[in-house]
Amino acid sequence: MNEEVQEYDYSDDDTLKKAIELIKKRRTEEEVREKFNLSDDDMELIDFVNNEF
């Protein structure tokens, strides 16, 4: 089987933790995205974490 492997571009753990905390403190996703220069993959991961945990 030749399945394609998808690669993701994530920021480091500390940056993601800080971004998640700011969103929990009512900052908008756009503000946090711009502050930390987050990728689309980062934002999808943050959305998942905030919705699942």
pLDDT of residue 1: 58
pLDDT by residue (tens digit) across 1-53? 567 888 888 999 999 999 999 999 999 999 999 999 999 999 999 999 999 98
pLDDT of residue 5: 86
Residues 33 and 43: beta-carbon distance below 8 Å: yes
HSE toward the beta carbon, residue 42, CA cutoff 13 A = 23
pTM summary value? 0.81
